[in-house]
């Protein structure tokens, strides 16, 4: 009887926590959750999109047009796209919980000419699946990506840099990531 109760409690605990996926880690595949490109009609399964790239960088930002993302994070990857290419990076993508139109306008505003593929995750579905989201309701109105960067080879995460305070500009910046390649 006691063991039945324990089993029940363990299962109940697991199902309670199952709403949150496990935090993305090295060795994981990028899940096949749908994201958008330059318009809502341009859709990709994230796993497939990254799965056919030999070495990609996927970085996530709290929000398009926010100061840190606009002055540092995205421009850094645009400026150093050739340096990354020289290190075997054949695809750079940035994802945010924003709609595709906003992501497009953001890219134009910082002079992105396709060096970085901007991916919109408007409902935060990929962010949730990766468990790389945090509650930014007070500032940005909803859950957003923790600032992170991942080196992904053939769809598998090889290195992962997540800002410990969610929004800082340190480990996930191109200056750090390029040193790790
Ligand atoms: C930023 O500057 O990138 C930022 C600002 C507010 C919330 C999250 C990020």
Q: Measured in angstroms, how far is the CA atom of residue 149 from the centroid of ligand 1? A: 16
- Is 138 close to ligand 1, i.e. is its CB under 6 Å away? no
Please tell me the distance from the alpha carbon of residue 129 to that of residue 53, in angstroms, as a whole number.
21
Domains along the sequence of the chain with CATH:
2-179 (3.40.30.10)
What pLDDT digit, counting tens, does each position of 141-166 carry?
999 999 999 999 999 999 999 999 99
Is 94 part of the annotated catalytic residue set? no
> Considering only CA atoms, which residue is closest to atom 3 of ligand 1?
68
- Is 173 close to ligand 1, i.e. is its CB under 6 Å away? no
φ, ψ dihedrals at 147, nearest 5°: -70, 125
Q: What is the pTM of this model?
A: 0.89
What pLDDT digit, counting tens, does each position of 102-130 carry?
999 999 999 999 999 999 999 999 999 99
- Is 133 close to ligand 1, i.e. is its CB under 6 Å away? no
Please, which contacts does 13-19 make with residues 24 or more away whose CB atoms are closer than 8 Å? Answer: none
Identify the CA nearest to 157 among candidates 15, 66, 46: 46
């Amino acid at each position: 009887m006691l063991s039945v109760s324990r089993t029940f409690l363990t299962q109940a605990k697991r199902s309670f926590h199952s709403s949150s996926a496990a935090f993305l880690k090295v060795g994981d595949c990028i899940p096949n959750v749908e994201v958008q490109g330059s318009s809502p009609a341009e859709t990709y399964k994230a796993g497939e999109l990254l799965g056919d790239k030999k070495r990609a960088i996927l970085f996530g930002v709290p929000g398009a047009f926010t100061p840190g993302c606009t002055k540092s994070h995205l421009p850094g990857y645009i400026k150093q796209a050739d340096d990354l290419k020289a290190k075997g990076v054949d695809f750079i993508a940035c994802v945010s919980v924003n709609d595709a139109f906003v992501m497009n306008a953001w890219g134009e505003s910082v002079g992105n000419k396709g060096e970085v593929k901007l991916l919109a995750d408007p409902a935060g579905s990929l962010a949730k699946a990766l468990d790389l989201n945090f509650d930014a309701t007070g500032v940005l109105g909803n859950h957003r990506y923790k600032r992170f960067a991942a080196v992904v080879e053939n769809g598998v995460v090889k290195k992962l840099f997540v800002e410990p305070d969610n929004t800082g500009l340190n480990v996930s910046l191109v200056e750090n990531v390029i040193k790790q390649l």
